[in-house]
Chain A
Amino acid sequence: MLFREDEVARFEAKAVRENAGWYRWTHDLVEVAGPDAEGFLDWMLVNRIADTPEGRGKYTTMLDERGEIIDDLVAFNRGGGTWWLSTLYGPHAVRWFDAHKEGYDVTYEDITQAWDMYAVQGPNSAKVMEVLLDEPVDGLKRFQIAENRVDDIGVAVDRGGFTGELGYEIYCRREDSIAVAGAIAAAAVQFDAPRLTTLEVYVRSLPMEKGLALRQDYKGLTPYEANLGWSVHLDKDFLGKDALAAVHEAGEKRAFVGLEIGRASYEDIAQKEIIRKRGVPCGYVTQMIYGYTVDRNIGFGVVDAEKCPVGTRVTIGPNDSPAIVVEPKWC
């Protein structure tokens, strides 16, 4: 929960939007390997994974048999038939793979405890990285991952992040984490780039302003309802495809939207708070946060697609906070 008057949070958000900031951003990592790894991932994930070049990654969702999202992740081709899946739900993914691996010669392991990850984000993040790393990274393309070094420590660096700004993610071994964090801090201070300490700023506020959602926002939706239809490849087979195609053909009943509330704060609005149109339930909030770049309380929601087009006036929660349905991206 963030508020307009939180000057620490505002400072951290502003740093990422206008300069750079860094923070520990360790995701769960599932390593997938084996002769059938590509085929297996192509079956498990909606995006076309098999043609991902070595050293590159792709964003994708993973569906259940009903064609509904159970995870969203980035799949990196680490070369040599090995893949890294960057997710917030590693143990869930492993269990899901256990249930669907039959017929595939594939291995997978949750390697989260072996790797830490730091994010450096903001328009000046490349400058921080240039000081930090042995090899330049300004040539990296989005979701491209490459080996590099921080002093004498081997790391992997990808161009990516969750703020909508230019940014990089640094993977290092757990035993090297403190040294790497120290090196990042030393490089960042040269550009007045702070370490972010307010979780909600980098998990929710900065991403939401740019329309970036978490799996918890998408869970249970189809990729089409979640505005992620671009990542779906119906011309290949994947788990949940038939159900997804059928639902898509019938037309999406729900819409993933943005919400703006008119009141100064949103303390009474939790996740899954009910959205009402003229007093009648028509959807739910997935999360709400204060956006310091746009200076307003913003949120994501799932609503009845037909009844609540953009521009619809609604109320949210137990105290009937007035809100308006908007596109789910603010800047």
Chain B
Amino acid sequence: MALLEHVGTHRGVETAFGKIIPEKEAYSYCLRTIAAFSANIFQVMRILNDSWEDRTEAITEIANMMNCAACAGGEDELFQYLNAFYDDWNIPELVKRSAWIGAIWGDYGDEAEDMAGRVIQFTEHRVEKELDTCPWDIVGSEMCNMTTGMFTANFDIAAGGEHGKITNDVQLNMCEARGCGNPHCRVVAERLDHFGLERQGWLDHRGQAHAPVHDTPPERRVKHGQGLRNGQYVQAFGEENPLEWQYRWVAQMGWVWSVSFPLIAIRDMAEDDDEFERILKTVFATAGKNSFIDFFAREGLRNWLEIPREIGDDDPRVMGAYISAVLGCQLVPFEWEAFDGEGVEIRVNQETFTGRFEMAPLDEITLGYEAQWNGACHTLVSPEWSVWIDEDDDDFIITVGRKIDDRAL
């Protein structure tokens, strides 16, 4: 057998020091960073509103409405939207697709988000989905209720229901949640007529299933979704999406449902924008500082990014390398403007940085990451160094530089 001409070509994110983070690892990291951002946003919400019921109701209602709005328009537009979806995913007529589109819709999203598990039951009256993993398990139970309530919109849309109202014929419950300590997340959809159930309100999506659940034994649970296991997700009727597609989908849509939708309600919980932004910056700065409070966290990062030993601890390139890894794994293109012992400057396009999903730009990404990275820089590098983000025409310049701030948070 002749020698190879060259080593194999594998996709990945190149770090500041030339190490390649493999695609699957970068995808996992991307997921978790978005989940962490979401967790911070939910902390902001809890400061602004101390009632679990009030805040959960608010974010669930808005998420449901926004999900419905995805196909807002006339009856014809809705018909075309649904047909395109059926076609894309090859959902055949025989599954009574108008009734269960939500179940099929949800499954590919779960798998893309590496919420790995299985549709255990798929009958005319009931769909049960069990998840063994959930990268969003750090966010909190409001999220569990919100996402489940959000998905009633998918049932509403297919049933032609009135936007923003629960008009479908299904109860949808996340009756177990990993983030609440259960072994699984479990979402069950059950037909009202078959099980004799009442329609749900916004806070009712964490009830119990009305038929017995199937509990997958520990030895048969999975640690990752199909994409990470097998390189692609395969939908029930055989349509496939490669890992590459899933990664891109998450880098866009992960922000939408976990940050963008709830933020609409969370901003309204503040008295004004100043209050919201003050609390947001405080939460993110604290999260950043705590990221590298432990020496082993700093060592772990150095190891992960293969930061050379000749670059010491008190060097801005350590922070710059970290930021660039976050950007790279989140599929945000950037350019190095400076990368030496005097400081780091990274150029990113403003629209790209804030508009991960173009239709829903988030200024909060800039506010949040500026505060978080600045806080992280103080523990990862030293308090002598700060991170700030300046505008430069259509771009942002993310700077790691020396700054004295007498009122530093």
Contacts and interface: CB of A to CB of B under 8 A. Distances in A.
Contacts of A26: 92-94
Nearest to A112: B93
B92 A27 contact: yes
A273 interface: yes
A266 B221 CA distance: 10
Interface string A255-276: 0000000010111101111100
Given A25-B94, A112-B93, A272 B232 contact: yes
B32 interface: no
A309 interface: no
Contacts of B182: none
Contact count band on A:
35 or more
A274 B124 contact: no
Contacts of A217: 238
Nearest to B119: A1
A319 interface: yes
Given A91-B87, A267-B221, A272-B232, A27 B93 contact: yes
Given A3-B214, A88-B92, A267-B220, A272 B240 contact: yes
A3 to B, nearest CB: 7
Interface stretch (A39-47, A126-134, A195-203): A195-203
Contacts, number: 96
B94 A274 contact: no
A88 B123 contact: no
A214 B216 CA distance: 27
Given A199-B123, A272-B232, A28 B237 contact: no
B118 A199 contact: no
Contacts of B93: 26-28, 112, 116
Contacts of A318: 222-224, 229
B260 interface: no
B90 A88 contact: yes
Nearest to B87: A91
A92 interface: yes
Contact of A267 (B216, B229, B232): B216
A25 B92 CA distance: 10
A197 B123 contact: yes
Nearest to A199: B122
B190 to A, nearest CB: 13
Contacts of B229: 270, 273-274, 317-318
A199 to B, nearest CB: 5
Most B CB within 10 A of own CB, among A3, A28, A265, A272: A272
A210 interface: no
B230 A284 contact: yes
A219 interface: yes
Contacts of A270: 118, 226, 229-230, 234
Interface in B78-124: 87, 90, 92-96, 118-124
Nearest to B219: A319
Contact of B238 (A25, A200, A215, A273): A215
Contacts of A219: 238
Interface in B128-147: 130
A64 to B, nearest CB: 15
B118 A267 contact: yes
Interface string B12-55: 00000000000000000000000000000000000000000000
B298 interface: no
A216 interface: yes
Contact of A272 (B124, B130, B214, B230): B230
A26 B96 CA distance: 9
A10 to B, nearest CB: 13
A42 B230 CA distance: 37
A217 B237 CA distance: 10
Contacts of B220: 263, 265-268, 319
A271 B124 contact: no
A317 B220 CA distance: 10
Contacts of A88: 90, 92, 94, 237
B125 interface: yes
Interface of B: 87, 90, 92-96, 118-125, 130, 214, 216-217, 219-224, 226, 229-232, 234, 237-240
29 contacts: A1-B121, A1-B122, A8-B123, A26-B94, A27-B93, A28-B93, A88-B92, A88-B94, A88-B237, A197-B125, A200-B122, A216-B234, A216-B238, A216-B239, A217-B238, A219-B238, A265-B216, A265-B220, A266-B220, A267-B118, A267-B130, A268-B222, A270-B118, A270-B226, A270-B234, A272-B230, A272-B231, A272-B234, A284-B230
Interface of A: 1, 3, 8, 24-28, 88-89, 91-92, 112, 116, 197-200, 203, 214-217, 219, 263, 265-268, 270-274, 284, 317-319
Which 4 A-B residue pairs are closest in the complex by CB-CB distance? Answer: A216-B238, A26-B93, A271-B234, A197-B124
